[in-house]
Structure 1
Amino acid sequence: MSSPHCQPLTDLVTGTTGIRAAIHVSPEGLILAASPGLASETADRWAAAMAALSAVSTEGVGIVGDLTSREVPWGYSVIEDRYGQTLVLVGSPDKSMLAVAAAKGADLGMIVGRLIELADQGHVVAVAA
């Protein structure tokens, strides 16, 4: 069985060089939508990992001090593995998350910008499973 899809994620993956896959994750770590071709089991595991990552990065910032912005309701995390592949996670104002897997050498600034744009505009909508 495949994951639920939504057009903004499809457009993001097909229209942005270097993005291999994308997911939209609830604050609880449940998959809301995934880019085409991503198996539901893979999307579910990825969603759980991204929710954990979001919690760790939020708590990590909290330990250092109150560095959260009052003007910008989202934040982002970028993790690069030793082979140059990258995970990018952007939190939306509704507390959901957008995550992409990017290929080695992808333009991360452009990718983060596209994710923030989607989050700000509310273009990624939860899709019923």
Structure 2
Amino acid sequence: MCYAVSNAQDEGQTRTSVLLGTWNREKHIEWVNANQEKKTNKNKKGQQYISMYYTGGDMCELTNQPRVVEVKLKCVTRKDNSQLVTMYLIEPQTCSYILGVENPLFCNLIDNTDEYGIPDQEKLFAHSEGQ
């Protein structure tokens, strides 16, 4: 996974790389507008995750459509304060994936996003400089 660029999946032992999608700001915003439940709720302090939509992946032989992936970045806090990363990949529809990534580092990122779940770099840098 390359945040805000692309996602790929390696299959089996032959190590064939399959591009699941690439980041496109405009397509992400269109997707959020079509799926209002994905919008960041600014009234909900401590929102647990944001979704990022990646499109234009490798062509799917079964659907004749490019692969797509929703990346869910989830804020998790651990009792031992570890920085462990948990990842999972599911395919709820043919060649349409959900990649979940859970880590405490996402908590600050999620708190500093716009209504579309896109991180606000100015807020993030201001927050990191203030620490």
Q: Which has the larger radius of gyration?
A: 2
TM-score, with length taken from structure 1: 0.33
Answer 1 or 2: which has greater strand percent: 2
TM-score, with length taken from structure 2: 0.32
Higher relative contact order (CA 8 A, sep 6+): 1
Answer 1 or 2: which has greater helix percent: 1
